[in-house]
A and B are shown apart, each in its own frame.
Chain A
Amino acid sequence: MPLSGPFLQELERIVGAAGLVRTLEGRLVYECDMHTFYKGAPDAVALPRRADEVVEIVKLCRRERVPIVPRGSGTGLIGGAMAPAGGVMIGTNRMDAILEIDLPNRCATVEPGLINLSLTRAVANSGYFFAPDPSSQMVSSIGGNVATNAGGPHCLKYGITTNHVLGLELVTGTGELVRLGGKGAERPGYDLLGAAVGSEGTFGIVTAVTVRLLHVAEAVKTILASFTAIEDASEAVSAIIAAGIVPAALEMLDELMIRAINEGTGAGYPKDAAAVLLIELDGPAAEVEAQGERAARICWERGALEVRVAADVAERALLWKGRKEAAGAVGRLAPTYLLQDAVVPRSKLPAIMRELIAIGARHRVQIANVFHAGDGNLHPLILYDDREPEELERAKAANEDLLRACIEMGGTVTGEHGVGLDKAKNLPLQYAEADLNFMYRLRRAFDPDLIMNPGKLLPSHPACGEGFRPARPRVPDGAWI
C-alpha cells in the first residue's frame, strides 16, 4: 500500500527529512531482520528522536489506518521487525541516550535504541551490569530486548529481560504515552508492565526503559566437560540442577557442532567428544568454589571424558570462544539453516535429544545443537542447502516434528527468541482457542485498531478474529432469573 504524498509530507514534518527513509534502496535495508527468510519492506521508515515525535507518528498512522512496525537494531530472529503489510517502520536508532544512571537505587533509565552492551559498559566501573545478555548484545537494542523479552546464556540464574525491567514509557496503538511501572518495586493495579514486556511491538512502541542494575559477582568459575555420549551430558545437566546448583550458565554443544567449531574457530574442544557442557558459576567465592567442585564431580560420575576448569580470564574466554562463534561456524556444514528455540522441561533433555536424532534421520537432515541446556531451551540448527527447494521442505518438516515433540513433552514453542511472523502459526500447538482469544483481547486494550505490528505474535486464525468467543460452559437448564 503506497503512502500518499500528503501522508509522507506530514511524516517528514514530524521527523525531518534526515529522519525519513523513502527511497527503495533505503527501505530495502529494513526489509528483514536476522530471520532473512521473511521479507517485507516498509513503505517508509521514520527515525524519531523524541517520544513526542513517536506520539505524533502513531496518531497520524492511526488516523490513516497505516500499519506501524517498530524496530531496534533488527537483530531479531523471528521475522518481527519487518513489514509484511508495508506501512511505516519506526526505527528507534536515533533514540539511544542513557537518560539516568541511579546507582543508589540500582537502576538506569535509557532510550530504547541504546545498545544492550553500552549500558553495562557505562556502569561497569561502578561494579554493576545489566543482566540480560542475548548473544546479540553487542548490537541489539534494549528496546528490542524488551519487545522480545530476550534471554541469553546467563538467564538461567539471572532471569530474562522481564525480570530486569522496572518501568516503561510506552506509546500505545492509540498514540497515548503511558508510564507503566517505575523505579519502585510495584504499583497498585494490573501488572501492565509485565504484560507489555515481550509484546513484540503489538501493544505500542517503547520510548524509555527503566532497568535494574545488578552488582557483579565476586567470583566466576567456568568449567568445560566433554562426554562421549550426548545422553551422558544430558543426564549430567539434570543431575547438576537436581543437586541444587544454579549455574549462571549451563550450555551444551553436540558432536556436529563441536566438529564445526573445531574446524572453524580452533577452540580446541576434544576431538572424540560427542557432547560438550559449558558450566559457568558465579557468586561469592566460597560458594562458587564448593559448587564448582560438586558440578565437576557430577560430570566425572556421568562418564565425562575430560573436565577442564578455566584458571584465569584468558582461559575462560577460550572456553567460551567456541560457544560464541557457534552460529558462524555452522556455515562450514551447510549454506543455511532453520533455527529452533523450543523448550522442554529439564528432565526431558535426554528424551528430546534421542527424539531429535530420530527426527533428523527420518527427514534426512543434519541437525546441529548448541543450546541453553540448564533451562531446557533447545537451539537446534536444522541444516539445509537453500539452492535445493526439496531440502528446505525436509528441513521444515523436521522443524514441525521437533516442535510437536517438545510440546508433547510439556514444553513451549519459543524460549527466548519470540514469536514474530515465524512462529505465530505454531502457537495453536501450545494454546487452546480460549487462550489465544484472551491474548487477542488483551492486545486490543492497547491497540484497538490493530495497527501495531500486525500479523506478529498471534496467529491470524479465525478463532482469534473479531467477535469470536470460545464456547462457554453449560449452565443448568432453567437457571434464569
Chain B
Amino acid sequence: MPVAARSIGEALVTIAGRDRVRDDIGSLDAAIVDGLRPRWVVGPASIDELSRVIALAQDAGLAVVPRGTGSSLELGHPPSRVDVVLDLAGLDRVIEYNPDDLTITVQAGMAAGTLAALLAPHRQWLPIDPPGIAARTLGGVTATNASGPLRARFGGLRDLLLGVRFVQPDGVVTWGGSKVVKSVSGYDVPKLMVGALGTLGVLAELTLRLHPLPDSERSWLVPLDRPQAAQDFVARLIDSPLQPSRVELFNDNAARRLLAESGSAGVAVSIGSVADAVRDQGERLGALAKAVDAGVVPLPEGFWSKVSSAMEPPPGWTALHVTSLAGHLADTVDAIGDIVRTAASNADVRLSGCASFGTLRLLMGGASVAEMAAVTTRVRAWVGDVGGSAVIARGPVELRRTVDPWGPVEPGALGLMRALRNEFDPKRVLNPGRYVGGL
C-alpha cells in the first residue's frame, strides 16, 4: 500500500474542488448528525465525483452519511461514525424528459417542488406527498420511502420508481431497472433501493413514472368523531365505485390545526378526474356519508399543502409511522389514544393517516423522552399483534438511543438483510449503524 503523501482532505479537494469540500467549523457544526460532527462536508457536482468520493471513503475507512435537505437525519439509529457528510442537493439536473412517455429521469438531489414545477406545464405530476414534500429531495424521499395521503390511489415510491443509478459503497456506479414503464429484465433493483436509507448505495439518478394531472380535483371532509364510524365509512367508500385519490384520517387536533374552529376529526377525501366525474362522485360521497349519519364539508383549495406542513413535526417533536391494517383502523386509533393518555398524558398529539391502507402518522410534542419511548414501545407491541410496525420517522437522538427506532424485523428476513449489507458494504462505509438491526 502506498504511503500517505497527502491528507484525505486534499484528496477530496482533488476530486470535488475546493469550493465543494468544506471543513470550517461553521459548516461542520451545521452538518452534525446525532451529535457527531463530520470532518468534511462534500457536495459533489457530478456522479463521477460522487463515485470517487465514495471510493476514497472506502479506501480510507471513512464513514459517509448522504443527505438531501437533511429532513430525515433523525430517522434510524444514531450512526456509529460520521466522517463525511455528502450534500447531494447539487445533483439536481434533469437527465431526460419526454412528456409523451410519462416518465422522467432526474438526478436524485432535485427537490420535489422543482420537479412539480417542471411537470405542471405538461399537466403531469409525480403523485407522492409526504409531509414537507416540496422542499425535500427526490433521493431523500426515495431512500426513506416516505409517503403521504396520495398513496391511497397511487401507492408508494416502490410503485413509481422505474430505474435507479446509484453508487455502491465501493464507488462503483450501478444501474438497476429500466427507463420504460414496464420491464422485467433482471431483478427489480429499484425496489431494493426504496427505503434502504442509502445503505446499499447512494442514489444518484432516478427514472420515475409520472401520472397525468386530473382535469379537476375537489376534496371534502367527512366529520366522524368515532374511529369506528370512520372505519365503517372508509369500508363503504372502498366498496363503492368511487375512485378517491386520498382517504386521509385526521384526529381532532390535526383537523383543528388545518381548519381552525370548523375542523373536527374525520376522513378527508379527494377526487381527481374529469370535471363531470368529480361532480358526480362528490354527490355520491355525500350519500355514502349520509349512510353513516355524517355530512360532507367541502375543503378549501390549498388544504393538502396545509396538511403537508401541519403533519411535519415541529423541532423537538417525534413522528411515529404506524402501519396497521384498514380492518383494524378503529382499534388502532383507539389503542393509540389510550396509550398516549396513560403513558404521556400531557402530550400534544396530531394523528393522520391513509385510512384505506391502515397507515398512521402520529406526531407527539410536549412529552419527555421517557414518555415518548413508552408510547413507541406500547404502540409497537399493539400493532405487532396484527402484523404491523411502528417506526420513529423523526425523533430526538436520546429517544432513538432509548428504543430501537425501527422495531423488530422478522429473524429470517433480517438474516437476508444482514447478508446483503455484508455483501455490498462490509466496511460499513454508508450510514454505519443507522439501519434496521443496527446494520
Check if B5 sits within 8 Å of A411, measured CB to CB: no
B-binding segment of A221-229, A270-278, A415-423: A415-423
In the complex, which residue of chain A has the Cβ closest to the Cβ of B55? A473
A217→B277 CA distance, assembly (Å): 14
B189 within 8 Å of A (CB atoms): yes
Hey, which chain A residues are within 8 Å of B175, CB to CB? 431-432, 434-435
Hey, which chain B residues are within 8 Å of A414, CB to CB? 183-185
A86 within 8 Å of B (CB atoms): no
Hey, which chain A residues are within 8 Å of B357, CB to CB? 185
A184→B332 CA distance, assembly (Å): 13
Check if A176 sits within 8 Å of B187, measured CB to CB: no
B-contact 0/1 string along A333-344, CB 8 Å cutoff: 000000000011
A183→B324 CA distance, assembly (Å): 9
Check if B191 sits within 8 Å of A194, measured CB to CB: yes
Task: From known contacts A160-B182, A443-B187, A473-B52, infer whether A179 and B410 are also in contact, taking CB-CB under 8 Å.
Answer: yes
Min distance, Cβ B435 to any Cβ of chain A, angstroms: 8
B-binding segment of A100-108, A306-314, A321-329, A355-363: A100-108
A416→B415 CA distance, assembly (Å): 30
Check if A189 sits within 8 Å of B387, measured CB to CB: no
Check if B172 sits within 8 Å of A284, measured CB to CB: no
Check if B213 sits within 8 Å of A244, measured CB to CB: yes
Min distance, Cβ B204 to any Cβ of chain A, angstroms: 13
Check if A474 sits within 8 Å of B52, measured CB to CB: yes
Hey, which chain B residues are within 8 Å of A122, CB to CB? none
A151→B52 CA distance, assembly (Å): 39
Hey, which chain A residues are within 8 Å of B158, CB to CB? 191, 194
Check if B409 sits within 8 Å of A155, measured CB to CB: no
Tell which of B4, B171, B182, B189 touches A151, judged by Cβ atoms closer than 8 Å.
Answer: B182
**From residue 408 to 454 of chain A, which have CB atoms closer than 8 A to chain B?**
410-419, 423, 427, 430-432, 434-436, 438-439, 441-446
Check if B187 sits within 8 Å of A198, measured CB to CB: yes
B273 within 8 Å of A (CB atoms): yes
Check if A417 sits within 8 Å of B184, measured CB to CB: yes
Min distance, Cβ A147 to any Cβ of chain B, angstroms: 10
Task: From known contacts A178-B413, A192-B417, A412-B183, infer whether A444 and B423 are also in contact, taking CB-CB under 8 Å.
Answer: yes
Min distance, Cβ A51 to any Cβ of chain B, angstroms: 13
**From residue 115 to 157 of chain A, which have CB atoms closer than 8 A to chain B?**
127, 148-149, 151, 155
Q: What total count of A-B pairs have CB within 8 Å?
A: 324
Check if B183 sits within 8 Å of A284, measured CB to CB: no
Hey, which chain A residues are within 8 Å of B1, CB to CB? 480
A-binding segment of B192-200, B299-307, B308-316: B192-200
Check if B184 sits within 8 Å of A160, measured CB to CB: yes
A188 within 8 Å of B (CB atoms): yes
Q: How many residues of A contact B (CB 8 A)?
A: 105
B-contact 0/1 string along A168-196, CB 8 Å cutoff: 00001000111110111111111111110
A127→B178 CA distance, assembly (Å): 35
Tell which of A191, A436, A469 touches B191, judged by Cβ atoms closer than 8 Å.
Answer: A191
Hey, which chain A residues are within 8 Å of B100, CB to CB? 238, 241-242, 346-347
Hey, which chain B residues are within 8 Å of A434, CB to CB? 168, 172-175
B170 within 8 Å of A (CB atoms): yes
B280 within 8 Å of A (CB atoms): yes
Hey, which chain A residues are within 8 Å of B184, CB to CB? 148-149, 151, 160, 198, 414-419
A93 within 8 Å of B (CB atoms): no
Task: From known contacts A185-B358, A189-B414, A345-B101, infer whether A479 and B189 are also in contact, taking CB-CB under 8 Å.
Answer: no
**From residue 39 to 82 of chain B, which have CB atoms closer than 8 A to chain A?**
48, 51-52, 55-56, 59-61
**From residue 392 to 407 of chain A, which have CB atoms closer than 8 A to chain B?**
none
Check if A347 sits within 8 Å of B98, measured CB to CB: yes
Check if A415 sits within 8 Å of B182, measured CB to CB: yes
Check if A186 sits within 8 Å of B186, measured CB to CB: no
Check if B409 sits within 8 Å of A176, measured CB to CB: no
* Highest count of chain B CB atoms <10 Å: which of A190, A198, A244, A457: A190
B325 within 8 Å of A (CB atoms): yes
3 smallest CB-CB distances across A and B, nearest first, come from A194-B191, A244-B212, A218-B241
Can you pick out 30 interface pairs between chain A and chain B where the beta carbons lie within 8 Å of each other? A105-B358, A127-B239, A162-B191, A176-B415, A178-B410, A188-B391, A188-B407, A191-B191, A191-B196, A194-B188, A198-B187, A198-B188, A218-B241, A244-B215, A246-B211, A286-B273, A346-B181, A410-B180, A412-B180, A412-B182, A413-B185, A416-B184, A430-B186, A439-B187, A473-B51, A475-B11, A475-B52, A475-B55, A475-B56, A481-B4
